[in-house]
Amino acid sequence: MRSDIDHTVQFKAWLEEHRGILVKVERAYAATAADQADLQQELKLQLWISLRNYSGQAKASTWIYRVCLNTAMTWRRGTARREARIEVGADLDRTGDEAASPAQQADDREMLEQLYAAIHALPEADRALILLALDGLAYREIAEITGLKENHVGVALSRARQRLAAQMKGVIDELE
């Protein structure tokens, strides 16, 4: 059994290294900045509680995704209905080229905001698959995280992408 000091050091290191996973899950499952902050606390709490049970059989990122997605799904079911739009704050990841014009950056920011809104509107299982695919995980890793059979991940992901594309079609038509 690891000491409390080792546990704390590991937790802090993982939070720093895998911060992007938490941010992606927050944005996909929580509609407002306040809800994202609330969910972030839930994710960190559950990761802290669960870290003692981490066996090392899966990659750390795979395990963190699994804990975060399960926590987010539980959190979402247990809270009241939220607004359907995503608030994007000043900490929004940079989109596109740094040298892009302010107008292009605004367009990119709006498209990213619409993408997160569309992802947020997907069913929970689709939302998880899309997030994992956007993060570049292999089907094997997605299967480990979601509990799907590896040969079913491609089919499920294809269907999720189709639903996301249908959500985004209206947005793209509006922007053109």
Chosen domain end from 59, 84, 109: 84
Q: Are residues 67 and 120 in the same domain?
A: no
- Cβ contacts of 147 within 8 Å, gap of 6 or more: none
In a domain, 79, yes or no: yes
Taking alpha carbons only, the member of 134, 110, 123 closest to residue 159 is 123
User: Is 144 domain-assigned?
Assistant: yes
Final residue before a domain boundary, out of 84, 108, 124:
84
Structure tokens belonging to residue 118 = 């569309």
Whether 45 and 112 map to the same domain: the answer is no
Contacts 24+ apart (CB under 8 A), 91-100: 93/23
Are 7 and 76 members of one domain? yes
Count of CA atoms in the C-beta half-sphere (13 A) of 128: 26
Q: Which residues of the chain have pLDDT under 50?
A: 1, 80-96
Rounded Cα–Cα distance for residues 65 and 146 (Å): 9
Are 153 and 128 in the same domain?
yes
pLDDT of the residue at 92: 44
In the chain, the number of structural domains is: 2
Residue 47 has what pLDDT? 92
Q: Does 60 share its domain with 5?
A: yes
Q: Report the distance separating Cα 99 and Cα 175, nearest Å.
A: 22
Is 80 in the same domain as 104?
Answer: no
Q: Are residues 2 and 70 in the same domain?
A: yes
Question: Which domain does 151 fall in, by range?
Answer: 100-176
Question: Are 43 and 9 in the same domain?
Answer: yes
pLDDT at 165: 87
Whether 52 and 115 map to the same domain: the answer is: no
Same domain flag for 12 and 52: yes
SS3 146: helix
Same domain? For 115 and 69 the reply is no
Task: Identify the CATH number of the domain in which residue 54 sits.
Answer: 1.10.1740.10
pLDDT at 94: 45
